[in-house]
Amino acid sequence: MKILVTGGSGFIASHIISLLLKDGHHVVTTVRNLNDKEKISHLEELAKEDKYTLDLAEADLLQEGSFKAPMQECDVVIHTASPFKISGIKNAKEQLINPAVKGTENVLKAVNQTPSVKKVVLTSSVASIHGDNADIQDIKEDKFNEDHWNTSSSENHQAYSYSKTAAEKTAWQLANEQLRWKLAVINPGFVIGPSLTKRKDSTSINFMISFLNGEFKMGVPELYFGVVDVRDVAQAHVKAALNENAEGRYIMVSETKSTLDMAKILQSHLGASYPIPKKKLPKAMLYLAGPFAGFSRKFIKRNIGIPVYFDNSRAKRQLDISYRPVEESLKEQADQVIRDGLLKKK
Ligand code: NDP
């Protein structure tokens, strides 16, 4: 098959591309800048291999029409590109919402103009299933499932989650206006695990680097996430792309873990050689200091100390996914960032 993967330079997309190439598919991938060697050198290495067919092309989410040429004659489009940033946001509309929503529109308009495409797989998130962790108190089930939608995020509160929700809704609207292509949506929790790219600015990679560099050595805010391995998330995209019957939403979460649970796993793996956090920051302290660190009082009230749970069974049943334990993913990711020299020199 000929398959387009948007945002090939990303943490998740790199694993999707690697799996597709190993399966013998012809992969075309778009990146923002073909001259940015730091972000794409691992892809150029793959493209040199005789046994693989990988073409790289330039496209930007905000540039209308830029996905049309790379998509020519593709059977499947896997749309992963979208800004994933939860801190340092100054203008949510410009930095998150427009690229996510207009980008999805641009990619799907190109799909509508490309008759060969029969399937689109969109990387959404559990961020479009729920916003704040406290939202779990408003549902009748004890876990979130694929019928739930995030109704609590906005441009001013949890803007990243809002961008993912708005982008996924745009995709469903465009999918429902036609009959040629099917839409499968992957909704991963927080994605961890070893990276194929050595970039440090990707949020999932930066999370591990910050932990091991001691940025939270005084303690971590007690945040709970549904967590999942990047290799399992990549596998779900590939299976959704190749299985004709796969459509609809697929939550991808292995287990719920808190930031402190994750710190404990890393301590047991690495011992005292890294300044890994040992305790959680008291909620009262976060109320005082949080606003200076970019956590609003509303965010703290509705998220800190509140666990969330997800029904991960649809992906197991329909995509034949078996989830790696989070402990294994964390240990392998820690080993990879150390091995690749991504930490501050001691
Ligand atoms: P990365 O930051 O590693 O990758 C994001 C990708 O999007 C990069 O390739 C980036 O390009 C591209 N991108 C961002 N803005 C633009 C733009 N304006 N035009 C073209 N490309 C753009 O993040 P992940 O791999 O983690 O994220 C991939 C997808 O997965 C995103 O849709 C994200 O929302 C989703 N997701 C991620 C989760 C996680 O925990 N990591 C959890 C759930 C969903 P460039 O390399 O040039 O920066």
Q: Check pLDDT > 80 for residue 276.
A: yes
- What pTM was estimated for this model as a whole? 0.98
Is the CB–ligand 1 distance for residue 11 below 6 Å?
Answer: yes
Q: What is the DSSP pairing of strand 224-229 with strand 255-258?
A: antiparallel
**288 Cα–ligand 1 center, Å:** 32
| Digit-coded pLDDT (tens) for 70-126 | 999 999 999 999 999 988 899 999 999 999 999 999 999 999 999 999 999 999 999
Atom 47 (ligand 1) nearest CA: 32
Whole-angstrom distance, CA of residue 297 vs CA of residue 220: 16
Burial code (b: 16+ CB inside 10 Å, e: under 16) for 28-64 equals bbbbbeeeeeebbebbeebbeeeebebebbebbbeee
Give the orientation angle of helix 230-242 with respect to helix 11-22, to 10 degrees: 50
Higher pLDDT, 284 or 60: 60
Q: Check pLDDT > 90 for residue 45.
A: yes
Is the CB–ligand 1 distance for residue 81 below 6 Å?
Answer: yes
Give the single-character DSSP code of 293.
G
**283 Cα–ligand 1 center, Å:** 31
Classify 297 as helix, strand or coil. Answer: helix
List of long-range contacts for 167-171, beta carbons under 8 Å, 24+ apart = 167/82, 167/100, 167/101, 167/103, 167/104, 167/122, 167/124, 167/128, 168/104, 168/122, 168/124, 168/128, 169/128, 170/101, 170/104, 170/105, 170/108, 171/79, 171/104, 171/108, 171/120, 171/122, 171/124
Instruction: Tell me the mean pLDDT in the region 181-209.
Output: 97
Instruction: Tell me the mean pLDDT in the region 161-169.
Output: 98
Is the CB–ligand 1 distance for residue 299 below 6 Å?
Answer: no
| Digit-coded pLDDT (tens) for 321-340 | 999 999 999 999 999 999 99
- Give a three-class secondary structure readout of 98-151: HHHHHHHHHHHHHHHCCCCCCEEEEECCHHHCCCCHHHHHHCCCCCECCCCCCC
> Cβ(179)–Cβ(115) under 8 Å?
no
**344 Cα–ligand 1 center, Å:** 24
Domain ranges of the chain: 2-339
Say what the pLDDT of residue 320 is.
98
| CATH code of the domain occupying 2-339 | 3.40.50.720
Ramachandran angles phi, psi of 240, nearest 5°? -65, -35
Ramachandran angles phi, psi of 323, nearest 5°? -85, 135
Whole-angstrom distance, CA of residue 176 vs CA of residue 6: 22
Q: Check pLDDT > 80 for residue 291.
A: no
